[in-house]
Amino acid sequence: MGGGMPILVVEDDPALREALCDTLELAGHAVLGAAGAEEALRLLAARDVSLVVSDVRMLPVDGIALLKEIRQRFAFLPVVLMTAFADVDRAVEAMRAGACDFLLKPFDAQVLLAHVLRYRLPGTVTSDGVIATDPVSMHLFALAARVAQTDATVLLTGESGVGKEVVARYIHQHSARRGGPFVAINCAAIPESLLEATLFGHEKGAFSGAQNAQPGKFEQAQGGTLLLDEITEMQPALQAKLLRVLQEREVERVGGRKPIVLDIRVIATTNRDMSDAVARGAFREDLYYRLNVFPLPIPALRQRVRDVVPLARHFLVAHGSRGGRPGLRFSAAAESALEAHPWPGNVRELENVIQRAVILAAGELVEAADLQLAGSSHSGVASEPAPSPGSLSVAGRRTPRAGQSDELREVEREHILETLAAVGGSRKLAGQRLGMPERTLRHKLRQYRIEGFLKG
> How far, in Å, CA of 134 to CA of 48, rounded?
10
Q: What is the pLDDT of residue 388?
A: 32
Residues in contact with 377: Cβ distance below 8 Å, sequence separation at least 6, in sequence order: 383
Q: What angle do CA 17, 23, 28 make, to 5 degrees?
A: 125
CA dist 398 → 283, 317, 413, 453 (Å): 33, 25, 13, 20
Q: 3-class SS at 240?
A: helix
pTM: 0.61
Q: What is the pLDDT of residue 96?
A: 74
Contact call for residues 124 and 133 (beta carbons, < 8 A) = yes
Tell me which CATH code domain 7-119 carries: 3.40.50.2300
Q: What is the pLDDT of residue 205?
A: 65
> How far, in Å, CA of 431 to CA of 441, rounded?
7
Contact call for residues 306 and 335 (beta carbons, < 8 A) = no
Q: Is the dihedral angle over the CA atoms 157, 160, 166, 172 positive or is it negative?
A: positive
Question: Where along the chain do its domains lie?
Answer: 7-119, 135-299, 304-451
> How far, in Å, CA of 275 to CA of 284, rounded?
10
pLDDT tens column, 386-402: 333 332 223 333 333 33
Contact call for residues 44 and 66 (beta carbons, < 8 A) = no
Count CA atoms within 13 Å of residue 275 on its CB side. 1
Q: Beta strands 201-202 and 365-366: pairing type?
A: unpaired
Q: Which fold has domain 135-299?
A: Rossmann fold (3.40.50)
Omega prior to 106 cis, within 30 of 0: yes
Instruction: Indicate if 304-451 has the same CATH topology as 7-119.
Output: no
CATH class of the domain whose range is 304-451:
mainly alpha
Q: What is the pLDDT of residue 121?
A: 67
Stretches where the chain sits below pLDDT 50 are 1-2, 125-127, 377-404
> How far, in Å, CA of 305 to CA of 386, rounded?
18
Count CA atoms within 13 Å of residue 368 on its CB side. 18
Count CA atoms within 13 Å of residue 262 on its CB side. 27
Helix (H) or strand (E) holding 415: helix 406-422
Contact call for residues 253 and 245 (beta carbons, < 8 A) = no
